[in-house]
Amino acid sequence: MDFIFFLGRFHVLLLHLPIGIIVALFVLEWQSRKDRYRHLEAASPFLWGATAISALVTVLLGYMHFAEGSFTGPSGEQHRFFGTIVAVVATGVALLRSSSFANSYKPLFFPASLVLLVLVAITGHYGGNLTHGSTYLVEYAPQPVRSLAGLAPKRTLTTVSAADPFADVVGPLLTERCAGCHNEDKQESELVLTTYAGVMRGGESGRVVVAGNTDLSELLRRITADPSDEEFMPAEGKTPLTAQQVEIIRWWIAAGAPNGGTVGELEVPAEMQQVLSTELGVSF
């Protein structure tokens, strides 16, 4: 299976190829309808063929990547479904475009390219959810849009003392740096770090935060490991937490990993007050 997983990882590299070809195909089919650019029509069968082949290979690699088992949420299922539809539609139209019946169905090729463009956009949206989390696109959206997405109003902080220790301080740090691999749609090692419940539940190797005990908290060990260590997190060259952010997480765990209430209700050393003020951009 390791070789299958190895090949599957190339899905994230190859997927850009069919997207680019589909965009080019749409432009060609659109322009070739005009008398001035009618000569472009000769390239249509070749572009449809390239679209079909690249889409089929990308989907095959995607199924191999999916076999790793980390993609457990609805976005993973939708990404796989729409990606498969793209490959099926592209292959069907490519076969028709290269057949002897192509001239009879010529009016269908431009609409088909438009359908592919829409489908690949939908597929990409769900793929983005896997990489960044399902709320990535609407994180900074106006509140009416956030409400449609099921998100609560953004919290406005005036002081550190009024901040929720997890929702306002630690949670955003973990979402920013760890959501790419540990969200509800892509649960690497069965670990979700975008919610308090997920953090406290832990992953396949057990608990990652032991409230009040920094020595036994695997999360802290991973983010403070040597960057050259294969266990260092975040992995794969992603931007790590800053030294200041690591100290905030250390303080939070030592304080009992609180969720709810306010920072002002906790014991906060003077030096940590300054760190929190700097990170949140408001006074203590």
Each residue's pLDDT tens digit, 8-58: 888 988 999 999 999 999 999 999 888 888 898 889 999 999 999 999 999
Residue 147 in domain: no
Mean pLDDT in the chain?
84
103 and 213 both lie in a single domain: no
Are 158 and 100 in a shared domain? no
Does the structure show a pLDDT above 80 at 143? no
Same domain, 176 and 128: no
97, 132, 167 — which closes off a domain?
A: 132
Are 34 and 97 members of one domain? yes
Q: Are residues 106 and 163 in the same domain?
A: no
Confidence check: pLDDT of 113 > 70: yes
- pLDDT band at residue 86 using 50, 70 and 90 as cut-offs: very high
User: Structural domain tally of the chain?
Assistant: 2
* Pick from 32, 18, 12, 191: nearest CA to 109: 32
Give the range of the structural domain holding residue 33, as residue numbers without chain letter: 2-132
pTM of this prediction exceeds 0.85: no
Model confidence at 149: pLDDT above 70: no
Distances (CA, A) of 209 to 29, 133, 242: 55, 21, 19
158 and 261 assigned to the same domain: yes
Structure token digits, residue 42: 């000769």
